A and B are shown apart, each in its own frame.
Chain A
Amino acid sequence: MSLDTTNVDGTGGPVAGLTSWLGWFRPQRRREWVELGGIVLTALLGVSMVGYILLDWLRFAPEWAVIGPYADLLFSQFIVAGMWMDHYLGTNVFSHPFMWRAIATGVLIGIVAPLVGTYLVHRQMALIGETLAHTAFAGVAVGLLFIALTGWTGSLLFVALIVSALGAIGLQWLTDRTNTYGDVPIAIVLSGSFAVGTLLISWGRDFTSLAIDIEGFLFGSLAIVTAEGARLVAALSVVVVVLVALNYKQLLFITFDEQAARVARLDVDRYNTLLIVMTAVVVVGAMQILGVILVAAMLVVPVATASQVAESFRETLFLSILFGQLSVLGGLAFAISASLPPGGSIVVIAIGFYLLSIAASGRSTAISMH
């Protein structure tokens, strides 16, 4: 392995400028450039999906906003392109706006879930995602009741988001004050919030007509992705990516050596809260596609795969996102073509990558072994 430190000489020129902008990324080997290329492609895909969701929203903009007709025009061009795709691929998928919504949601989740998951897994907090998914389920139940009782027309997922974020903060509070092992409060909150969820749903059935696909939320479904749900995922994806980009270094330091980070006077508690709230937000978004029960897999499996083969933390982060994205795209393709639930398909493919990475790396440092 060669060490080349000469490419940070700051001698100007576009390449040096790019390298300097990339900060300590400093790609040196072909493999690293390939990964960077993959990340750029994924980012472009993500941006275009956010663009689609934005157009889908803006085409219904009020008249005074002027933009509506233009958005509508672009949107219909997008759907026309989808028809051509269907024509050439012999499919019946890309001409339907609701399918694009589901695909866009999947693509964005395939970026942000492994992004947040990389920190979670290496902080040994992998099960937090599972717990917060159960909290989000309670949130869905609360939202259903709230909507049924008040006639509120807002988004169900928005209520789930708030409940899940509160659950995240509550869980951290409980962990800080509990006198037992760290995973005990996690187990309690996990089963506790699911218990509350089932009670609320059963109770609500008695006096309201709950026309909601509970199974869709449990196992994930393309059909439950609403325009509102997709918008929520688009917004939270942008926020999460920006937050991680801004706090990459601090989160890495805390993940690697929390005590030293405290001594360096980093506000560890604040970053912990940030990480756990970001997780709650990602989980609520991912729940639509993956379902409550499978959502944690997207936070954990791509990261485990990447950690098998990566040489550095930065590479782990990149590869997690790439493996996450490939799992989502492959899983969606399989689910759509075989008419099976997307959650299970995505997770099975992700685990396939994980097994391959173990075979390929031949390393004995699998995360699960410690």
Chain B
Amino acid sequence: MSSVVTVEDVSFAYGEKAAVEGISLSIESGDFLGLIGPNGSGKTTLLHLMLGLKRPDSGSVTLFGDPIDEFDDGERIGYVSQRSTDRGSTMPVTVREVVTMGRFAHVGRSPLGTDDHEIVDEALETVEITDLADRRINQLSGGQRQRTFIARALASEADLLALDEPTVGVDAESRERFYGMLDDLNRQGITIILIEHDIDILTKHVDTVACINRELYHHGDTVSFLESEALSKAYGAAHGVIEHDHP
């Protein structure tokens, strides 16, 4: 198995405030990694470092075997951030237009071809939103919107999906369905990195967990994580997150 992302002794600070300190971990092809930690623990920062959105202060990151600065196969990554949906609430853009963006890194300045449109149609079908393709994205429910962004990642034929709290504001039923879909995609060989604040639902789906709070507290399979004390250490004494029931 080859490494999709390797992070070696990476640190990053916002001014004086360290956000990530001395983290090393490696994500193998086909992994479904859950990245967890309390609020402000540096999860999003670490993900940004992995994707090259931020440069580490020290340490090194490689993506698909390339040093992060030299990596230029943008179409291999599908990224859905918390902010992805912001613009959609006001900007007039259809589901099909959003999904078609997944092809942009492939075609560059050339016009989209028939095959590009076919790939978009397939992606829409995979996440079951073909009937919504011509809707404005602000007319969709939270769950439908998230599936649109996954379809965009699929249309880019990404090998790696990076999802930063993709189900904020999505109802429980759509969330279950969404995670079921991620399981399917992972079974097809797509590597997934997922940030999710809900540890219950996360540990049900992912096969590896990286638990961080500025530093790495645990990186291993889900079972060993649940048996370890990483969670209580990372969250401090007042965690209790894992026991509560979800709406």
Interface secondary structure of A, over-half rule: helix
Q: B93: CB under 8 A from chain A?
A: yes
Per-position binary interface string of chain B over residues 81-114, scored 1 when its CB falls under 8 Å from any chain A CB and 0 otherwise: 1011001111111101110110011010101101
Whether B133 lies near A260 (C-beta < 8 A) is no
**A367–B89 alpha-carbon span in the complex (Å):** 10
**A255–B104 alpha-carbon span in the complex (Å):** 13
18 sampled A-B residue pairs with Cβ under 8 A? A249-B101, A257-B84, A259-B81, A259-B84, A260-B80, A260-B81, A263-B52, A265-B72, A307-B90, A307-B92, A311-B92, A312-B94, A312-B97, A312-B134, A312-B136, A313-B94, A365-B138, A367-B90
Number of CB contacts from chain A to chain B under 8 A: 117
- How near does chain A come to B117, taking the closest CB pair, in angstroms? 5
**A253–B74 alpha-carbon span in the complex (Å):** 13
Chain A residues at the B interface, C-beta cutoff of 8 Å: 1, 3, 5, 8-10, 20-21, 23-24, 28, 122, 246-247, 249-250, 252-253, 255-257, 259-260, 262-266, 306-307, 310-316, 365, 367, 370
Neighbouring B residues of A21 by C-beta, 8 Å: 111
Whether A10 lies near B114 (C-beta < 8 A) is yes
Whether B87 lies near A264 (C-beta < 8 A) is no
Neighbouring A residues of B198 by C-beta, 8 Å: none
Q: B223: CB under 8 A from chain A?
A: no
Neighbouring B residues of A24 by C-beta, 8 Å: 96-97, 100, 112, 117
Neighbouring B residues of A315 by C-beta, 8 Å: 92
Whether A252 lies near B109 (C-beta < 8 A) is no
Using known A-B contacts A264-B156, A313-B91, determine if residue A249 contacts B77 with beta carbons closer than 8 Å: no
CB neighbors of A among B130-175 (8 A)? 130-131, 133-136, 138, 152, 156, 162
- How near does chain B come to A146, taking the closest CB pair, in angstroms? 38
Whether A314 lies near B97 (C-beta < 8 A) is yes
**A122–B86 alpha-carbon span in the complex (Å):** 11
Q: B53: CB under 8 A from chain A?
A: yes
Closest to A312 in B: B94
Using known A-B contacts A312-B92, A312-B97, A315-B92, determine if residue A259 contacts B53 with beta carbons closer than 8 Å: yes
